[in-house]
Amino acid sequence: MSRTSSPEFKIAESLEAFPSALKGGIVAIGNFDGVHRGHRAVLDAALGLGHGTHHPVFAMSFEPHPRTVFNPSKPVFRLTPAVQKTDMLRVCGLDGALILPFTKEFAAMEANAFVQDILIDTLEISHAVTGYDFHFGRARQGTPDYLRTAGATHGFGVTIVHREEDESAEVISSSRIRENLGTGDIAEANALLGYRWFFDAEVQHGDKRGRDLGYPTANLRMPEDCPLLQGIYAVKVKLGETWHDGVASYGRRPTFDNGAALFEVFLFDFDGDLYGKSLRVHVVSYLRGEEKFDSPEALVAQMDRDSEEARAALASLQPLSEIDLKLLDLAP
| Residues noted as catalytic | 264
Give the distance, in angstroms, between the CA of residue 205 and the centroid of all CA atoms in the same chain: 26
Sequence-separated (6 or more) residues with CB below 8 Å from residue 70? 104, 107
The kind and range of the H/E element at 297 are helix 296-315
Sequence-separated (6 or more) residues with CB below 8 Å from residue 58? 10, 22, 25, 26, 27, 28, 94, 95, 96, 97, 98
Write the burial class of residue 283 (CB in 10 Å: 0-12 exposed, 13-18 middle, 19+ buried). Answer: buried
Extract the runs of DSSP E, i.e. beta strands, from 48-190.
57-63, 96-101, 127-131, 157-161
Asked if residues 96 and 22 have their Cβ atoms less than 8 Å apart, the reply is yes
Q: In what order do the strands lie in the sheet with 242-251?
A: 198-202, 278-289, 231-239, 242-251, 262-267, 218-220
Q: Which of 187, 188, 195 is nearest to 322 (CA)?
A: 195
CA 33 – CA 63 distance, rounded (Å): 10
The phi and psi torsions of 324 (rounded to 5 degrees) equal -55, -45
Radius of gyration (C-alpha) of the chain in whole angstroms = 22
- The CB density around residue 146, as the number of other CB atoms within 10 Å, is 19
